[in-house]
C-alpha cells in the first residue's frame, strides 16, 4: 500500500441553500478540483457520501449525477451510506482506492440537502439511522436516544448538565470564526441550559443543526503530491469500525465501542499517541456525543470528557482544540457531507489556511465521524507536510 495525500479541498457554505442536492455536490467537487489544479478528466474514481437523498428530496442514485455535473465522464462512481458517517466512509474508500494503486486520483465528496423538510419529518428520516424495529417504532428520535445516553452518563460518571452545555458554547465560539458555518454567532451558557427541551436532559442548543451543504477533497499518492499542491496533507490513518445501532443491544450506553475500535486502529496505523494530536474534528451530533468521543478516543479518562470544554483544553488556544470549524453544532450537519467537511477543516488547518480560527503550528489532526447511535465510526488522522 502506498501513502495517500490530500491535494485539493472544496466546500459550499453550510446552511439553508437554494441549490439542488446534486448542484451542491458538484460545486464542492469543482472547488476541490480547482484547489488541486486538476481537470476532471484526471480523476480515476469518485466516492460520494449521502445519507438520505431519496427521503429528503426524492432522489437516489446521485453519485453518477454529481459526477456528470462535475464533468468526470465515465469514471466509477460509488455512493456510500453509513448514516451520519457516510462522508467518513467515502473518504476511507477513496484512500483505499489510491493506496492500493487502483487509481492515481480519487475525488471524494459528501452532500445532503435537508432544510426542505419539516422538522418532525426530518426527525423521522434521521430516526431511520437507528434500528427502526425497536427504536423509531416506540417513538424514539435521535435526540431521544442521546437524551437516554446523556442521562445515563450523568448518572454513572457524574457528568453535569453544565459540562454538557459548555460544548455548545465552545463550538459556537469557534463557528463564529468560520465564514462557511451555518450559524456564526455565540451562545451563552444560560441560553443553552434554559433552552426549550428537545429530549431531556438535552435542549435545543445541545442538538446539531439541520443544514444543506457539501464538501469534497482530492486524493493522490503522497510520492507525487507535491507536484499538485504546495502543501499536501498526508493521510496518516484511515480506520472504520461497527457496532449494533440499538441501545438495547449495548451493554454500556455511555460509550461507543465502534469509536474505541476505530480510534485504536487509527492510532496504531499512524504510529502516534494521543499527545501528538494538535486538533480534532469530533462528531458532535449532540453536545453529549463530543464528550463521549473524547473519552472513547482516549483523550480523556472515562467520565472526564466534560472537563475539555469547561477547563478550556478543547477550546481554541487550548492544548487540543476540538471542532475549530464550529462542529456539527455551529458549522452545521448536512448528514452525508459532515465526514468530508471534517477532512476539509483539518486540511485548511494543516496548511495554515484556517484564518481567524487557525491553530498555530498544527501538524497532526484527527477526524471522528459517527453514524447513528454509534453503529458506524470512521476515524482519520492527517498530517501536515514537514
Partner 1 sequence: METFVCAGCGRIYLEQSERCGHCGAEMEERPASGRGIVYSFSSVHMGARGMPTPYLLALVELEEGGRILARLADDDESEPSIGGKVIFSGLSDTGPVFRML
Nearer to partner 1, 254 or 323 (CB): 254
Angle at which helix 161-175 crosses helix 287-296, to 10 degrees, equals 100
Cα-flanking dihedrals φ and ψ of residue 218, to 5°?
Answer: -110, 130
Question: Is 333 an active-site residue?
Answer: yes
- With respect to partner 1, which residue has the nearer C-beta, 134 or 313? 134
- Per-residue x/- mask for partner 1, residues 235 to 274, rule CB under 8 A? -----------xxxx---x---------------------
Contact 130, 373 (CB under 8 A): yes
User: Cβ closer to partner 1: 198 or 262?
Assistant: 198
Quick check: 135 binds partner 1 (CB under 8 A)? yes
Residue 224 C-alpha cell reads as: 507525487
- Closer to partner 1 at the Cβ: 173 or 288? 288
Q: State the DSSP H helix or E strand holding residue 213, giving kind and residue range, or none if neither.
A: strand 213-221
Output the 3-class SS for 73-105.
CCCCEEEECECECHHHHHHHHHHHHHHCCCCCC
Binding mask 145-174 for partner 1 (x = CB under 8 A): --xxx-xx--x-------------------
Euclidean distance between CA atoms 33 and 365, whole angstroms: 22
58 binds partner 1 (CB under 8 A): no
**Contact with partner 1 (CB under 8 A): which of 58, 119, 230, 360?**
119
Interface with partner 1 includes 195 (CB under 8 A)? no
Please state the separation of Cα 26 from the chain's center in Å: 19
- Asked if residue 307 lies in contact with residue 377, where contact means CB atoms within 8 angstroms, the answer is no
Only segment of 54-62, 125-133, 311-319, 367-375 that touches partner 1 (CB under 8 A): 125-133
Confirm if 282 and 368 have CB atoms less than 8 A apart.
yes
Q: Is residue 83 within the footprint of partner 1 (CB under 8 A)?
A: no
For residue 368, list its beta bridge partners: 379
Candidates 104-112, 190-198, 285-293, 375-383 — which segment interacts with partner 1 by CB under 8 A?
190-198
> According to the binding rule CB under 8 A, does residue 121 interact with partner 1?
yes
In angstroms, the CA 60 to CA 95 distance is: 24
Q: Which string of x and - marks every residue 312-351 that binds partner 1 (by CB under 8 A)?
A: ----------------------------------------
How does 209-219 read in b/e, with b if 16+ C-beta sit within 10 Å? bbbbbbbbbbb
Query: Which positions from 196 through 225 interact with partner 1, judged by CB under 8 A?
Result: 196-202
- 186 binds partner 1 per the rule CB under 8 A: no
Identify the bridge partners of residue 9 per DSSP, sorted by sequence position. 217
- Cβ 337 vs Cβ 213: under 8 Å: yes
Assess 123 for contact with partner 1 (CB under 8 A). Answer: yes
Exactly one of 5, 86, 140, 259 binds partner 1 (CB under 8 A); which one? 140
**Is residue 84 annotated as a catalytic residue, yes or no?**
yes
Minimal distance in Å, beta carbon 145 to partner 1?
8
> Does the footprint of partner 1 cover residue 230 (CB under 8 A)?
no
Beta-ladder partners of 48: 79, 109
Nearer to partner 1, 35 or 243 (CB): 243
Q: Could you say which of 137, 160, 226, 268 contacts partner 1 (CB under 8 A)?
A: 137
189 binds partner 1 (CB under 8 A): no
CA pair distance 167, 197, nearest whole angstrom: 17
Only segment of 5-13, 120-128, 210-218, 270-278 that touches partner 1 (CB under 8 A): 120-128
Question: What is the distance between the alpha carbons of residues 333 and 220, in angstroms, rounded to a whole number?
Answer: 27
Helix (H, G, I), strand (E, B) or coil at 146: helix
Strand partners, 212: 15
Nearest approach, Cβ of 136 to partner 1 (angstroms)?
6
Q: How many helices (DSSP H) and strands (DSSP E) are in the chain?
A: 14, 11
Query: Cα–Cα distance between 291 and 46 in angstroms, integer?
Result: 33
Catalytic residue among 283, 333, 344, 368: 333
Nearest to 343 by CA among 8, 1, 2: 8
Catalytic residue among 84, 220, 285, 377: 84
Total site size for partner 1, rule CB under 8 A = 36
Please identify every residue annotated as catalytic: 84, 333
Under the rule (CB under 8 A), what is the footprint of partner 1? Answer: 119-121, 123-124, 127, 131, 133-141, 143-144, 147-149, 151-152, 155, 196-202, 246-249, 253
Amino acid at each position: 500500500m502506498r501513502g495517500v495525500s490530500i491535494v485539493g479541498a472544496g466546500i459550499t457554505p453550510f446552511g439553508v441553500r437554494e441549490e439542488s442536492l446534486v448542484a451542491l455536490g458538484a460545486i464542492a467537487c469543482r472547488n476541490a478540483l480547482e484547489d488541486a489544479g486538476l481537470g476532471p478528466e484526471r480523476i480515476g474514481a469518485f466516492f460520494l457520501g449521502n445519507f438520505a437523498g431519496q427521503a429528503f428530496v426524492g432522489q437516489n442514485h446521485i453519485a453518477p449525477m454529481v459526477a456528470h455535473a462535475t464533468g468526470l465522464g465515465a469514471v466509477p462512481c460509488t455512493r456510500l451510506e453509513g448514516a451520519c458517517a457516510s462522508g467518513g466512509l467515502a473518504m476511507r474508500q477513496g484512500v483505499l482506492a489510491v493506496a492500493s494503486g487502483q487509481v492515481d486520483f480519487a475525488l471524494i465528496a459528501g452532500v445532503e440537502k435537508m432544510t426542505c423538510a419539516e422538522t418532525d419529518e426530518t426527525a423521522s428520516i434521521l430516526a431511520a439511522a437507528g434500528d427502526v424495529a425497536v427504536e423509531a417504532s416506540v417513538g424514539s428520535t435521535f435526540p431521544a436516544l442521546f437524551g437516554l445516553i446523556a442521562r445515563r452518563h450523568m448518572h454513572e460518571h457524574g457528568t453535569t448538565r453544565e459540562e454538557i452545555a459548555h460544548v455548545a458554547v465552545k463550538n459556537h465560539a469557534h463557528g463564529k470564526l468560520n465564514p462557511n458555518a451555518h450559524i456564526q454567532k455565540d451562545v451563552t451558557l444560560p441560553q443553552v441550559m434554559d433552552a426549550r427541551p428537545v429530549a431531556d436532559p438535552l435542549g435545543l442548543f445541545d442538538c446539531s443543526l439541520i443544514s444543506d451543504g457539501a464538501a469534497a477533497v482530492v486524493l493522490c499518492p503522497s510520492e507525487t503530491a507535491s507536484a499538485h499542491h504546495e502543501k499536501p496533507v498526508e493521510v496518516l490513518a484511515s480506520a472504520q469500525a461497527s457496532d449494533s445501532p440499538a441501545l438495547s443491544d449495548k451493554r454500556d450506553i455511555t460509550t461507543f465501542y465502534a469509536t474505541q475500535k476505530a480510534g485504536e486502529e487509527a492510532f496504531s496505523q499512524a504510529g502516534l499517541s494521543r499527545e501528538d494530536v494538535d486538533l480534532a474534528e469530533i462528531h458532535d451530533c449532540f453536545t453529549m456525543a463530543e464528550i463521549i468521543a473524547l473519552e472513547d478516543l482516549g483523550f480523556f479518562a472515562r467520565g472526564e470528557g466534560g472537563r475539555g470544554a469547561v477547563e478550556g483544553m478543547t477550546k481554541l488556544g487550548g492544548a487540543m482544540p476540538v471542532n475549530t470549524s464550529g462542529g456539527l453544532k455551529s458549522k452545521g450537519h448536512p448528514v452525508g457531507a459532515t465526514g468530508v467537511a471534517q477532512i476539509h477543516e483539518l486540511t485548511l488547518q494543516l496548511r495554515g489556511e484556517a484564518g481567524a480560527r487557525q491553530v498555530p503550528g498544527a501538524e497532526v489532526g484527527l477526524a471522528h465521524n459517527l453514524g447513528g447511535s454509534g453503529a458506524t465510526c470512521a476515524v482519520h488522522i492527517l498530517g501536515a507536510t514537514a
